[in-house]
Amino acid sequence: MATVKEMRTRIGSVKSTQKITKALQMVAAAKLRRAQLAADAARPYAQQMSAIISNLAAGVSGRDAPLLLAGTGGDRRQLVIVATADRGLAGAFNSAIVRAARQKITALIAEGKDVKIITVGRKGRDQLRRQFGDRFLESHELGLKSPTLASVKPIAQQVLDLYMAGQFDVVTLIHCHFKSVVTQTPVAKQLIPAQVETGNGPTALYDYEPDEESILEALLPQNVSVQILSALLENQAGFFASQMAAMDNATRNAGDMINALTIQMNRTRQAKITTELIEIIAGAAAV
Amino acid sequence: MAEKISFDLVSPEKLLLSGRADMVTVPGTEGYMGVMAGHAATVTTLRAGMIDVSSDGKDDRYFIRGGFAEINATKITVLADEAIPMSDLDLAVLDQRIADAAEDEIAAKSDSERQRAAQYLEDLKLVRAAF
């Protein structure tokens, strides 16, 4: 049985943990708002871009379509980009992405594909390295600043260079889709060959300046950067939402624990006093 | 009064401007073009240069470093790689960019890269001259 003093120290330590989780929760909430705004602000550009690409792709078919749109024709050599966060303390956020990545990679390997991996974010690298370390091409870290187009350019450029050098047939990006503050689901998105929404039928007929091919050639690489950027921005919003929820839980748990410990401590103290009283009374009665 | 055209200026990070204008002048790859309501549907690439948004006799100007524009009869959307309002742009920034572009041209690895850097440098100098 723990003594009253031990219990008091224990309560003190749980209290300071609670302070930390509470502070982290509030920081995450503040950052979440900013990250959400950033993710929302980036959406119009990405949407417009895919709309233009869809339009163009309908016109440029088959024979002279650029490599980034048409693909190499095969699908044996796969590149998987896994985007997670740099930090933990965010519930199942990183694990969920890593689990999705692991499933995807294992499935691809089982199909006999040749899989290589690029990770973005420290947590993804740490968790995947054990199992797939020999398949890593490169690991990027996010750093402290929120992602911008300039900061994702090097990653996109590396992917494009590898693709253009004929190293890969298909490039897939796995990240977390930010549905709402409470639900984020990991998704896999095919980056190259570019996926085109079809079935909308030919929308407006456009004039192209200079011409379809050169516009596509400029658009498609840009699209890769933009897709990675929007994935990272969504990831960031998802991370903070997840961290906020996790820290909220932790704070509540700490509160419950403090209550339970306090009751236990009071009982012990009371029991000790009662025992002492009985001893004194018994002693007095004996005289 | 002629009809207005709606105009969106978006960069990868945010929506910079969304409004209506009488005429928007954009730096197309094959020359500056003025776009008014009723323009033929066009998609064009843009080079570095100035966007001029005139509305009710007022002119707003933005510097962009390349991008795309999608135009139809009622709407023009500019997807800029980067856009800076003219009021935030000063010569020092521009000169710095010109110096960077010149370095890029020298450091370029392939012919196409060098050509692109040279083009960008050229465009920047034009903007500086107009400043």
> How far is B41 from chain A, CA to nearest CA, in Å?
5
Domain check: are B47 and B106 in the same one? no
Domain check: are B99 and B75 in the same one? no
Inform me whether the pLDDT recorded for A243 exceeds 90.
yes
Give the CA angle between residues B82, B43, B93 to the nearest 5°: 20
Better-predicted residue by pLDDT, A210 or A119: A119
ipTM over 0.90: no
Report the residue of A151, A153, A206, A209 to disrupt the B interface, i.e. the one with the largest count of B CBs within 10 Å: A209
Inform me whether the pLDDT recorded for A31 exceeds 90.
yes
What CATH class has A23-245? Answer: alpha beta
Instruction: Report, as an integer, the average pLDDT of B9-34.
Output: 88
A214 to chain B, any CB pair closer than 8 A? The answer is: yes
Inform me whether the pLDDT recorded for A250 exceeds 90.
yes
Domain check: are B51 and B70 in the same one? yes
Inform me whether the pLDDT recorded for A63 exceeds 60.
no
Total domains in the fold of chain B = 2
CATH number for position B12: 2.60.15.10
Report the residue of A206, A224, A230 to disrupt the B interface, i.e. the one with the largest count of B CBs within 10 Å: A206
Q: Which two tokens stand for residue A155?
A: 């990653």
> How far is B131 from chain A, CA to nearest CA, in Å?
26
Domain check: are B51 and B69 in the same one? yes
Domain check: are B40 and B69 in the same one? yes
- pLDDT at residue A201 in the model: 52
Domain check: are B56 and B20 in the same one? yes
Q: Are A216 and A67 in contact (CB under 8 A)?
A: no
Torsion of CA B65, B66, B67, B73, to 10 degrees: 100
Per residue in A104-114, pLDDT (tens digit) is 999 999 998 99
Q: Taking CB atoms and an 8 Å cutoff, what residues of chain A touch B15? A: 41, 44-45
Better-predicted residue by pLDDT, B3 or A243: A243
Inform me whether the pLDDT recorded for B14 exceeds 90.
no
Inform me whether the pLDDT recorded for A287 exceeds 90.
no
Q: Taking CB atoms and an 8 Å cutoff, what residues of chain A touch B65? A: none
- pLDDT at residue A164 in the model: 86
Structural domain of residue B71, as residue ranges? 5-86
Q: Which segment, A128-137, A140-149, A221-230, A276-285, is predicted with the most confidence on average? A: A276-285
Give residue B71's identity as a one-letter amino acid code: I
> How far is A214 from chain B, CA to nearest CA, in Å?
9
What does the alpha-carbon distance between residue A129 and residue A127 come to, in Å, rounded to a whole number?
A: 6
Interface of A with B in 135-154 (CB under 8 A): 148-149
Domain check: are B33 and B72 in the same one? yes
- Asked if A210 lies within 8 A of B8 by C-beta distance, the reply is no
- pLDDT at residue A64 in the model: 65
- pLDDT at residue A203 in the model: 57
Inform me whether the pLDDT recorded for A15 exceeds 90.
yes
Per residue in B50-92, pLDDT (tens digit) is 899 998 888 888 888 888 998 988 999 999 988 888 888 777 8
- pLDDT at residue A62 in the model: 56
Domain check: are B78 and B111 in the same one? no
> How far is B14 from chain A, CA to nearest CA, in Å?
4
Report the residue of B7, B8, B9, B14 to disrupt the A interface, i.e. the one with the largest count of A CBs within 10 Å: B14
Sign of CA dihedral B60, B65, B66, B67: negative
Q: Are B59 and A239 in contact (CB under 8 A)?
A: no
- Asked if A45 lies within 8 A of B10 by C-beta distance, the reply is yes
> How far is A46 from chain B, CA to nearest CA, in Å?
7
Look up the pTM and report it: 0.84
Q: Are A10 and A18 in contact (CB under 8 A)?
A: no
Domain check: are B10 and B56 in the same one? yes
- Asked if B43 lies within 8 A of A149 by C-beta distance, the reply is no
- Asked if A226 lies within 8 A of B41 by C-beta distance, the reply is no
Q: Taking CB atoms and an 8 Å cutoff, what residues of chain B touch A215? A: 43-45, 68
Query: Is the link from the previous residue into A193 a cis peptide, with omega within 30 of 0?
Result: yes
Domain check: are B94 and B82 in the same one? no
Q: Which segment, A5-9, A55-59, A135-139, B29-33, is predicted with the most confidence on average? A: A5-9
Question: Would you place residue B106 in the very low, low, confident or very high pLDDT band (cuts 50, 70, 90)?
Answer: confident
Domain check: are B19 and B40 in the same one? yes
**What's the longest Cα–Cα distance across chain B?**
52
Domain check: are B74 and B100 in the same one? no
Per residue in A160-204, pLDDT (tens digit) is 989 888 888 999 999 999 988 888 899 998 888 887 766 555 555
Question: Would you place residue A61 in the very low, low, confident or very high pLDDT band (cuts 50, 70, 90)?
Answer: low
- Asked if A206 lies within 8 A of B11 by C-beta distance, the reply is no
